[in-house]
Structure 1
Amino acid sequence: MSAQDVLPFPPTPSASTAGRTMQESVYAQRVRPRRLPDDAPNILIVLIDDAGPGLPSTYGGEVRTDTLSRVHDGGIGYNRFHTTAMCSPTRASLLTGRNHHRIGNGQIAELANDWDGYAGEIPKSSALCAEVLKEYGYSTAAFGKWHNTPAVETTAAGPFHNWPTGNGFEYFYGFLAGEASQYEPNLVRGTTIVPPPRTPEEGYHLSEDLADDAIGWLHQHKALEPDKPFFMYWASGCLHGPHHIMKEWADKYAGKFDDGWDAYRERVYHRAKEMGWIPPEAQLTPRDPRMAAWDEVPEEERPFQRRLMEVAAGFAEHVDVQVGRLIDEVENLGYGDNTLVFYIWGDNGSSGEGQSGTISELIAQNGIPTTVDMHIAALDELGGLDVLGSPKVDNMYHAGWAWAGSTPYKGLKLLASHLGGTRNPMAVRWPARITPDPTPRAQFHHCNDLVPTIYEVVGITPPRVVHGIPQLPIDGVSMAYTFDDPAAAGRLMTQYFEIMGSRAIYHEGWMASAFGPRPPWVPGTPPGIATWTPDQDVWELYHLDEDWTQAHDLAAEHPDKLAQMKETFSIEAAKNSVYPVGGGLWVLVFHPEMRISTPYREWNFTGDITRMPEFCAPALGNRANLVTIDLDVPEQAQGVLYALGGAGGGLTCYIEDGVLCYEYNLFLLSRTRIRSERRLPVGPATIQIATAQPDPKPGGALDVAMTVDGDEHGVGHVPVSAPLLFSANDCLDIGTCLGGPVSLDYAAKAPFPFNGRIDRVNVRYST
C-alpha cells in the first residue's frame, strides 16, 4: 500500500545515526518530504445560502452581484450544477464528495433520527476534504455557517469532534446552527463561544465580520506560513432568514420590484436567455396553482411584500460585496493567480419558508397560523416598513419572491424533485490554469463533485484509510475535464435527489421527479401527511437534454422509460441509505416528541451561564416547568434574570426599577406581560416562575405565576405557545440577554445585565 492510501502520513525518520556519545554520533539534516507539487493552488470555496439562480445580475437576475460577475468573467460558469435542495445535506456532500444520505445527512442536523440516512452526523469514514488537504500540507480554515454538527453537541461543553476543528479545519469562526441573526449571532471561534466584536448600534453585521476575520486569517497565513497553500471555506449566513440588512442597502432597491414576482420572472427569464446563460429553447415554467399570483395580493398588503424583497435584495448584494473584499485581499497578498475559486450561488434554491411574508420567520416552522394583516399590524407598532431588515424583526419574504428567485424553474428550497430547488449557478476562476471563457459549462454536475475535482487538480488520490478508519468511496465525479472544454461530454451519468419525500433521479440526460407530500410554501401541516406514503406520489418524466426547465412531462408518452427511471431511483436509494423515503419527515411530522433536545429534566445553573443554544436548553416556552432563582437583590435592582430566544421571539424574566417582570414574546405577534405591583425586598430572596400547561398539546396555552419567598407577585395567561422553539441560533442566558432583546422594555438597555448577585438557578420540568 502506497503512503497516500493511508493518512496521516508516517513521521519522517531521522537522517542521523545515533552513537553512544555525541562525539560518536553522525548528524544529517532530517528532510521532511513535500507531499504537494510546488504549484499546488490555494483553494477558496464561497457558498451563499438559500439563493436561487434567478437572483444574481451575473446570470440575468436583478440583484447586483459584481463579485460573482468578476469571478465568472475571469473564469468559467456552470449552468447545470446541482445541490441537494437543503442546507446540511448540501454542505455535507460538498465537503466530503459523498451522497448526503450515505453519510447520514438526509435532512438538517436538528431533525436527526435513528435511520442511517438521517442520523445527522458525518461519519469519520467520510473524511472531509479539509482533513485530507491538511495532512498533505495545506493550511485550512472555515468561516460562517457550519450546520453539520448534531444540535445537542453545540454547547460550550462540546463534544468537539463534530465541530469544524474536529473535521480538518485548523481554524473556524462562525456559527454552528442553520441560521443566525446578522446583528446578534451566537458565534464560535475554534471551540470557544465568543461575543460579536461590536453591537448593531456600532455598525456590526455578520457578513462583514466574516469577511474581516477571513482577511485577518489570510494576513496571518502570509506572515506565518507563506510556504504552504491554503484551503478556505467561506459560507455566509446570507440569504437565509432572517433577512437582516442596514436600511441604506435595502433602499438601493426601492421601487424595483413594484410589479411583483410574476413580472420579475418574465424579465429575468428573457434576460438570462439573451445573455446565453440558458439556451434559446428553454421555456419559462408556470407557477404552481397552490402559490399566490401577484395579482391576488391585496393592494394594501403590497407595500409590505415589496419591501420584504427590497430588503432581501440589499442583503444579497451586500454579501457579494463582502466576498469581493475577500477576493481583493487574496489578490493584494499575491495569491490571486494561483488561487482556485469556486463561487457557488446557493446551497439550494431560494427559500419559500417565509410563506406569505413574515416579520418573524420561525412562525412557519412552529406551524402557528397567522394572517398578513397580523404581521403588518405588529410591524406598525415597531415603527413600520423601515423596521424591516433591522434587529427588531426577523423578517423573510413571501414564497412568491423565492419562486421568482429560482427563475426559470419550477422548484425552490426543499424541493429535490424540481430544478430551482437543486440547480444553482457556480463560477470557477483559476488564472494560472483556466482561460476565461464565457461559454457556460452545461455538463450535469453535483455538489459532491467538488472534492474529486480538488483532489485531481492537486494530485491527491482519495485515501482508503484516515486516522485508522476505512473510508467510503467518493461518489462524485471530477469536473476538471470541463475547465478547458465547454463541449466535453458529461461524465456524471446518474445522480439521485431526495429531501423530505421530494425526490428525483437523473440518468443519462433524463430526469424522473416526484414532488412529494409537502409544498414548502403552504402554511401548516399538509392534510393527510401523517398517512402519506411514497407510493401515493405521481411521478413525472423529463428529457432534460431537450427540456432545460422541466416544462414538458413525458410520463404518459414514455411509461417504459419512466418505469426504468423509477427502478434506477430504487437502486440508488438502496445503495445510499435513502430508505425509508421521506425519513427526514420522521420527527417533523410523525414523531415530534422525538425531536432532538436535551435529555435532562432538571438543571442547576450558577449566575454566569450564558449562550446555551436553545436546542440544548430547558424548554421553558412549551413545557410545564418551575424556575427557582436564589439571588441577592440590591437597592434599585435592575436587569435580566434569564432570557431564552431573541428579539423575534422568546421569553424573559427581568427586574425593572425593583419590580419583577415576565414576558412571553410570541414571534412579535403577541406579547404576554406580567408585572408585579410591588417592589422586591432588598437582600436575599427566592424567586420562582411556575409555568403550567392547562392543555398540554403543541402550541397550547400556558399559565405563568411569579412568587417571591412564597408570596404571589403576578400571574398571567399565554394563549398560544411556540410548539417547537423560538430561535434556531439564539440561546438561554442567565443574568443577562446577550442575543436579541426579547422584551421591548429593555431593548434600549440591552444586554441589560442584572446588577445584583444570582447564586443559583434551578430549572425542572413539572411533568
Structure 2
Amino acid sequence: MSPQDVLPFPPTPSASIAGRTMQESVYESRVQPRRLPEGAPNILIVLIDDAGPGLPSTFGGEVRTDTLTRVHSGGIGFNRFHTTAMCSPSRASFLTGRNHHRIGNGQIAELANDWDGYAGEIPKSSALAADVLRNYGYATAAFGKWHNTPAIETTAAGPFHNWPTGVGFEYFYGFLAGEASQYEPNLVRNTTSVLPPRSAEEGYHLSEDLADDAIGWLHRHSALQPDKPFYMYWASGCLHGPHHVMKEWADKYAGKFDDGWDAYRERVYHRAKEMGWIPENAQLTPRDAALSAWADVPEDERPFQRRLMEVAAGFAEHVDVQVGRIVDEIEAMGYGDNTLMFYIWGDNGSSGEGQNGTISELLAQNGIPTTTDMHVKALDELGGLDALGSPKTDNQYHAGWAWAGSTPYKGMKLLASHLGGTRNPMVVRWPARIAPDATPRSQFHHCNDLVPTIYEVLGITPPRVVNGIPQDPIDGVSLAYTFDDPTAQGRLHTQYFEILGSRAIYHDGWMASAFGPRAPWVPGMPPGIREWTPDQDVWELYDLDHDWSQANDLADQMPDKLAQMREMFAMEAARNSVYPIGGGLWVPFMHPELRISTPYREWDFTGDITRMPEFCAPALGNRANTVTIEAQVPDRANGVLYALGSGSGGLTCYVDDGYLCYEYNLFIVMRTKIRSAERVPAGRATIEVETAYAEPRPGGPLDITVKVDGVGFASGRVPVSAPLLFTANDCLDIGTCLGSPVALDYYDRAPFPFNGHIEKVNVRYTS
C-alpha cells in the first residue's frame, strides 16, 4: 500500500463519461478504492482505570480476573509496559502515539493551565488514531471514560470539536470527566446529555451499561456496515474512585483481606514469581515510612479498612466480567479470530487518593483533613459498613491497599518516578496472527506505542497532514516486533516520565528517578509546596535490567551515570514541553483560585436548565453569591429549587411540605442543614439565597441567608466549605436533582422535582 501523506483522501472521481445528452454519455459506477490491506483486523482496546499490577489473579493478585486470564491465555502478555502515572496524560498518549506533555496533557484536563505542556487540549497537529483509521475505512466507536476534553467545553452547548465525535470517533457513549458515580453518572451519547436508562434501585450500574451499549453498537455495525472493520475503544470508570459495586460482588471477598496490605504484598509477590510474571531475582520493595503499616491501624478501624478493599476487589472483578461479555459477543458474531485486542490493566498504577480510607474521595482533592472516626460515624447514618459501595457513599480504599495493588513496586498513581505508578500489565490477543505464548514480553514499552503498532499492522504511514493541519511526529515505537519473538531486542531506547513534579528518565536499561514534592498518600497540603523547586529533589539511579523493581539505588556509586541520565531528562523535557517541571502543581496546590471556570459573574436561567457540569456552573459553594428565584409556589410546596453536586458532596435548596430548606453537604462527613420556621406562602414569590464568607479564605466558613420577598426566612453558618469543587462529573440542576441526591432528606423522593413553576433564576457573584 502506497503511503498517504495527506488525509482525508481526495474524493473518488466519477468513472462515467458525461456527453451532451444521456444517450451520448457512458455510465459506469465509480468504485471506491480499498484503503486497507485484505483481512485488516478489527481492533478492540480495553482500558481499566487506576488499577495496579498486583491486583489481577492473572498475574498473581487476588482479584479474580477470568477475562484478563482468558485473553492472556489466547495471546501474549507484556510485563514491562508503561503508562504516564495519571489519567488524562495516559489516555492522550494511548490515543495519539505522542508524549503527553507534547500534546498539552501534562496534567488532568480539569486542572490545566496556560503552559503548553499543561494546556489540557490535544492539538489538532496530533490527530488521534481514530481519525486516521476512520479515513482509511474503519468504523470507530468509544465507550466509557473520556477525560480528554477541556472541562470548560463539556456543557450541552459544546463546542464539540474536542469531544470524541470531533476527533475521529463516529460514536461515543460514556462520560467526559475523570470519574463518575457508577449508579448516577452524567452521561453523554455523541454530543447529547442523556440520563441512565434506569435507576440504581432498578439494577443500574455504569460498567454494565457501557458493555450493553458496546454490544448494541456491534449489532448495529454488523447489520449496517458489515464490510468495514471496527476500531472500538472501551475505557471503564473502574477502578477509579468512587468504588461502587453491588453488595453481592463485595461480599465475594468477605474476610479475604483480613490480614492487611503488608501480608497481601508478600503473598502476591511470591505468587507472581511462581507464575513467571516477574523474574526470580525481582525484589519486594519496602513500604515508605510515611505510609501506615497494617499493624499501625487500630483494631476498631480495621473492619472499615477491610471492607473498603473488599468493595474495590468486587468492583474490579465486576468490570472484568463486563469485558468478558463484550469478548463473548465479538466471538459469537464471528469476529473473534480477526480481532486484535489490547487489554490494558490500568492507565496508571493503583490510586492512593483515598489516602487514609474515605467515604467521599474528593475530600482529598479539596485538602480537607478528616479522621477515620469521622468517616465511620458518618457511615452509621447511612447504614453502616454495608453502605460502602452503595449510591450513598463515594468510598475509596486506604492508600495501603493501593500500595499492595502495586506489588512489588514502591509507587502508585501520581508517582512518575517509580514503577508502581507507571508499570501496567497489558495482554494482546489476535488469533489470526499471534500464536498463544505464555512467555512474558519484557521489552520496555510505553503507552504511546499502541498507535504506531496499529499503523504497522495495517501498513499505514503516519500522515504528514490531517484535515489541513501539519502533524507532529509520532513518539511511540511499534511493539509488533515482539508478537512472534519474546526475546527480541527492545526497540524503545529512551522514554521520559513526569507528573506533578515526580519524574524519571529511562534509557537502554537504566532509569533515573526523582520522587518529587509530594507523596500522594499523605493528606493535606505538602509542606513547603509553594516554595518547592525541582533543584531540591534527590535523584535515584537504577539498573532495571538487573533490578526489576527499583530496589537498589546506585546513585552514590555511579554519580557520572546519574549525571548523564539527568542531562538526558533535561533534553527530553525541553523537547516535549515539560517545563516548568511540576507545572501540573500550579492550579491544585499553588493557585486553586485559577481552577478552570467560566468567565461569567452573572447568569440568568430559565427554570428548565439541568445537567450543567459543575466545572461550567456557578461556584455556589465557594464564591460569595446570591441566587434569586422567581417562582409560582403551590400550597405546602415540595421539591428541589436547585442542586449542585451530588450525595458525596454538594449543596441544595428545596421546599419540604412548604418549609424552605438549604443543605450544604461537605462530602458526607459534615452536613449543614437550614430550615425555615414558617412555610412559604402560596403564590408568586421571590426566593433569595445569599452566600457570604465569614472569613475570606479558601475553605472558610460561609454565612447563608434565605429570604422570601425580601423578608429573612432562615439563616445559618457552614463551618467548613469546599475550596475546590464538590464533584468531577455531577452537575447543577434547576427545579430537580437528576444526579445523585445531594440531601439525604429527599433521597427516597429523588429526583424530587419542584411541584410549582420556576419562572427564572438569577445567579450573581457578590465579591
Whether TM-score is above 0.5 comes out as yes
State the superposition RMSD in angstroms. Answer: 0.8
Residue-by-residue CA offset, 1:194-249 (whole Å, 9 max, x unaligned): 00000000000000000000000000000000000000000000000000000000
Amino acid at match of 1:755: N
Q: Which AA in structure 1 matches 2:244?
A: H
Partner Cα distance (2:502, 2:173) in 1: 33
| Residue 350 of structure 2 corresponds to residue 350 of structure 1 | yes
The whole-number CA distance in structure 2 between the counterparts of 1:388 and 1:291 is 23
For 2:698, the equivalent position in structure 1 comes to 698
Partner of 2:529: 529
Shift of 1:712: 1.0
Question: Structure 2, unaligned stretches of length 5 or more?
Answer: none
What SS is found at the alignment partner of 2:375?
helix
Instruction: Say which SS state the counterpart of residue 200 (structure 1) adopts.
Output: coil
Query: Any conservation in 2 of the 1:155–1:612 contact (CA below 8 Å)?
Result: yes
1:213 aligns with 213
* Per-residue deviation, residues 679-706 of structure 1 (Å, max 9, x unmatched): 1111111000001112110100000011
Partner of 2:82: 82
Q: What residue number does 2:134 align with?
A: 134
Answering whether residue 713 of structure 2 is matched by residue 717 of structure 1, we say no
* Structure 1 range deviating more: 123-132 or 632-641: 632-641
Q: Which residue pairs with 1:467 in the alignment?
A: 467
Give the whole-Å Cα distance in 2 for the aligned partners of 1:727 and 1:54.
Answer: 29
Residue 616 of structure 1 is matched in structure 2 by: 616
| Distance across 2 between alignment mates of 1:708 and 1:393 | 33
2:616 is equivalent to residue 593 of structure 1? no
The equivalent of 2:444 in structure 1 is 444
CA distance in 2, matches of 1:175, 1:201: 21
**Are residues 1:279 and 2:297 paired?**
no
Per the TM alignment, residue 381 of structure 1 is displaced from its structure 2 partner at its CA by 1.6
Question: 1:269 offset after TM fit, Å?
Answer: 0.1
Q: For 2:552 and 2:585, how far apart are their aligned partners in 1?
A: 29
Structure 1 counterpart of 2:436, one-letter code: P
Q: How much has 1:157 moved relative to structure 2?
A: 0.4
Give the counterpart letter for 2:674 in structure 1. Answer: I
What percentage of residue pairs aligned between the two structures are identical?
82
The one-letter code sitting in structure 2 at the alignment partner of 1:410 is: K
1:22 maps to 22
Cα displacement (A) at 1:2: 6.6
**Residues 250 and 310, structure 2, Cα contact 8 Å, conserved in 1:** yes
Contact 2:636 2:659 in 1 (8 A): no
Letter of the 1:746 partner, please give it.
Y
Letter in structure 1 aligned against 2:195: P
| Counterparts of 1:670 and 1:91, CA distance in 2 | 35
Q: Counterpart in 1 of 2:579?
A: 579
1:51 aligns with 2:51: yes
- TM-superposed CA distance for 1:29, in Å, is 1.7
- Deviations 1:37-87, CA, capped at 9 Å, x for gaps: 120000000000000000000000000000000000000000000000000
Cα-to-partner distance string for 1:147-205 (whole Å, 9 max, x where unaligned): 00000000000000000000100000000000000000000000000000000000000
Distance 1:464 1:377 in 2: 59
C-alpha distance in 2 between matches for 1:289 and 1:28? 77
Distance 1:100 1:373 in 2: 40
C-alpha distance in structure 1 between counterparts of 2:243 and 2:738, whole Å: 20
TM-score normalised per structure 2:
1.00
**Which letter does structure 1 place at the counterpart of 2:120?**
G
Q: How many angstroms does 1:636 deviate by?
A: 3.3
C-alpha distance in structure 2 between counterparts of 1:504 and 1:339, whole Å: 35
* Matching of residues 227-242 of structure 1 within 5 Å: 227-242=227-242
Matches within 5 A, 1:305-704: 305-704=305-704
Which residue of structure 2 lines up, in the alignment, with residue 100 of structure 1?
100
Separation in 2, partners of 1:743, 1:118: 36
Q: Which moved more, 1:201-210 or 1:679-688?
A: 679-688
Q: What is the match of residue 267 of structure 2?
A: 267
Q: CA deviation at 1:283?
A: 0.3
- Cα distance in 2 for partners of 1:381, 1:30 equals 70
Q: Is the 8 A contact 1:464 1:471 kept in 2?
A: yes
Question: What CA deviation, in whole Å up to 9, does each residue of 1:520-543 have, x standing for no partner?
Answer: 010001111110000000000000
Counterpart of 1:167?
167
Report the alpha carbon displacement of residue 3 of structure 1 after superposing the two structures with TM.
6.3
Does the 8 Å contact 1:3/1:9 carry over to 2?
Answer: no
Give the Cα–Cα distance (whole angstroms) in 2 for the partners of residues 165 and 228 of structure 1.
18
Greater shift, 24-33 or 355-364, is seen at 24-33
| Counterparts in 2 of 1:555 and 1:3: CA distance versus 1, 3 Å | closer
Give, in whole Å, the separation in 1 of the partners of 2:32 and 2:249. 51
What is the SS of the residue equivalent to 1:291?
A: coil
Query: In structure 1, the residue corresponding to 2:530 is in which secondary structure?
Result: helix
| Residues 64-79 of structure 1: pairs in structure 2 closer than 5 A | 64-79=64-79
Structure 2 contact 4–461 (Cα < 8 Å) conserved: yes
> Deviation per CA, 1:82-106, whole angstroms, max 9, x where unpaired?
0000000000000000000000000
AA partner of residue 414 (structure 1): L
> In 2, distance between residues paired with 1:3 and 1:65?
41
Question: SS of 1:103's equivalent?
Answer: coil
Query: Which one-letter code corresponds to 1:27 in the other structure?
Result: Y
Tell me the distance in 2 between the aligned counterparts of 1:243 and 1:589: 25
Once residues 334 and 28 of structure 2 are traced to their aligned partners in structure 1, the CA distance between those partners, rounded to angstroms, is 35
Work out whether residues 3 and 461 of structure 2, in 8 Å CA contact, stay in contact via their aligned partners in 1: no
Aligned to 2:188: 188
Amino acid aligned to 1:653: C
Distance 2:736 2:533 in 1: 47
Matched to 2:522, the amino acid is V
Distance in 2, matches of 1:105 and 1:227, equals 36
Aligned letter for 1:687? I
